[in-house]
Amino acid sequence: MSKNLTKAIDEEINKIYPEIIKIRNHIHENPELSEQEYNTSEYICNILSSNDIEFTRMKKNNGICAVIRGQDDKPCVGIRADMDALPINEDVEWAHKSKSPNIMHACGHDIHTSILLGTAIILKSHSDNLKGSVKFFFQPAEETVGGANSMISEGVLESPKVDYAIALHIDPSLDVGTVNLCPGPLNGASTEFEVKVCGKSSHGAHPNMGIDPIIISCHIITLLQSGLTRKIDPIQPSLITVGQIHGGSKGNIIPDSVTFSGIIRSLNESNIPKIQEIVQNICEGTANGFGATIEITFKDGYPALTNSEELFPFIKSSCELALGESNVLLNQAPSLGCDDFAYFSKSVKSFYYDLGCKKRDCKTSYPLHSTKLDPDPECIKFGIQTQVYSILKIMGEL
Ligand SMILES: [Zn+2]
Ligand SMILES: [Zn+2]
């Protein structure tokens, strides 16, 4: 029974594949930055309409929530694809290179969107036999403000109430035709901070006449690393990175102030407030010791992304059925990178996995966010297969 079903689905995927490739090429040629995905969103709506798939446009940004209603609302599974591009100039010469200078789908979101459209089209043709419902989140602004959060605020997880959410991301280090899965904690929670060290300007030859914010900032920045290793459990991966520092105008002038900013990440979300306290105390204590003052601000980033142990066997067996057991790797390492799918994972049981897109004959595969990212489009076929199978598996139909 399930063998007949998978065979029928595979044939349907092969049938729509040329059309999905055209969709991907169109999106890749016409990339749009985060919060500006107007044409991409319009284009997706047209495809949903022409396939008779119900959808709602979000009020904020350019998100779309489509739904396919089965015999019942429950279970309801949501699938997320992000659709924004990056401010990067594409450096790959091919027929469908970006037509917009300095904008490129360098994180594969064109592929994610195409996979989600393909998945929706296939599931639409099976909607009469679907036990539950499926929602499709075409999400804006993954790379910047966390479009997932605004979609959730607009109620995409309600009516019908979403029980589970899944998403995938291309991985150029993995061979096309493979996936990599990791149950449990996957991505860290994040916060940003900015510190202004306020000293007192003076001539560089008379530092005693001023309060030097440069030397104070140097002490603070190195002390932050020590504070982290002495105060946070070393077996709970956490980091502080200062990625920006600005101050001064000339080599012989001690400036009034220095500003630096950075990120805090931890795989354990509960560490974030503790690390903020470390940053606050070290900044204040060090500055005070030199007679300076500080102004510090923290900006909340994405929550931690945790893959549901309950969903893991469903996703694993679906991927094995689609790609073969040996092509399902279980060594996706947790990382302190982040993806705003974390907002879904914080709200409902979720699973996020990596989809291989490295070309088979390729010796150098460039990473995500590279000007030379060149994924194998065949990963789209495998992505549709694993997503459709996963939905059917969760619904108990495979
Ligand atoms: Zn990215
Ligand atoms: Zn991405």
Separation CA 160–CA 164 (nearest Å):
12
pLDDT at position 363: 87
How far from the centroid of its chain's Cα atoms is residue 229's Cα? 27
Q: Is the same domain home to 13 and 145?
A: yes
Ligand 2 mean position to 173 CA, how many Å?
Answer: 14
- Examine the pLDDT at 282 and tell me if it is beyond 90: yes
Ligand 2 mean position to 107 CA, how many Å?
Answer: 4
Among the candidates 300, 320, 349, a domain finishes at 300
Question: Which strands, in side-by-side order, build the sheet including 76-82?
Answer: 54-57, 64-68, 133-139, 76-82, 164-175, 349-358, 179-180, 328-329
Ligand 1 mean position to 354 CA, how many Å?
Answer: 13
pLDDT at position 3: 80
DSSP state of 337: -
Nearest Cα to Cα of residue 320 among 397, 385, 237, 249: 385
pLDDT in tens, 336-380: 999 999 999 999 999 999 999 999 988 889 999 999 999 999 999
pLDDT at position 294: 98
Q: Is the same domain home to 75 and 19?
A: yes
Domain, as residue range, for 173: 2-187+304-394
What 3-state class would DSSP assign to 342?
helix
- Residue range 111-119: average pLDDT? 98
Query: Any idea which ligand is nearest the CA of 86?
Result: 1
Nearest Cα to Cα of residue 150 among 66, 53, 64: 64
Q: Are 29 and 98 in contact (CB under 8 A)?
A: yes
Q: Is the same domain home to 106 and 162?
A: yes
Which residues, chain by chain, have CB under 5 Å from ion ligand 2? 107
pLDDT at position 332: 80
Phi first, then psi, for residue 364 (nearest 5°) are -110, 115
pLDDT in tens, 23-70: 999 999 999 999 999 999 999 999 999 999 999 999 988 999 999 999
Ligand 1 mean position to 383 CA, how many Å?
Answer: 18
Supply 109's token pair: 């979101």
Q: For residue 335, list its beta bridge partners.
A: 187
In which residue are the tokens 């979720």 written? 350
Q: Is the same domain home to 256 and 167?
A: no
pLDDT at position 331: 86
How many domains does the chain divide into?
2
Q: Is the same domain home to 11 and 84?
A: yes
Ligand 1 mean position to 8 CA, how many Å?
Answer: 34
Separation CA 337–CA 40 (nearest Å):
26
Separation CA 107–CA 110 (nearest Å):
8
Q: Is the same domain home to 151 and 295?
A: no
**CATH number for the domain harbouring residue 138:** 3.40.630.10
pLDDT at position 61: 87
In which residue are the tokens 């309060």 written? 211
Ligand 2 mean position to 318 CA, how many Å?
Answer: 23
Alpha-helical regions (H) of 290-352: 312-323, 342-347
Ligand 1 mean position to 349 CA, how many Å?
Answer: 23
Among the candidates 274, 300, 326, a domain finishes at 300
Among the candidates 300, 315, 346, a domain finishes at 300
Q: How does residue 324 score in pLDDT terms, banded at 50, 70 and 90?
A: very high
Bond before 160 cis per omega within 30 degrees: yes
Q: Are 345 and 336 in contact (CB under 8 A)?
A: no
How far from the centroid of its chain's Cα atoms is residue 27's Cα? 18
pLDDT at position 176: 98
Q: Is the same domain home to 314 and 287?
A: no
Ligand 1 mean position to 370 CA, how many Å?
Answer: 10
**CATH number for the domain harbouring residue 271:** 3.30.70.360
The total of other beta-carbon atoms located within 10 Å of residue 111's CB is 26
Kindly report the average pLDDT of the chain as a whole number: 96
Query: Any idea which ligand is nearest the CA of 108?
Result: 2
Percent over 70 (pLDDT), the chain: 100
Q: Is the same domain home to 99 and 64?
A: yes
- Residue range 293-301: average pLDDT? 96
Nearest Cα to Cα of residue 374 among 81, 172, 175: 172
pLDDT at position 361: 87
Q: Is the same domain home to 25 and 102?
A: yes
Q: Is the same domain home to 64 and 29?
A: yes
Nearest Cα to Cα of residue 279 among 303, 302, 267, 295: 295
Q: Is the same domain home to 130 and 263?
A: no
Q: Is the same domain home to 14 and 160?
A: yes
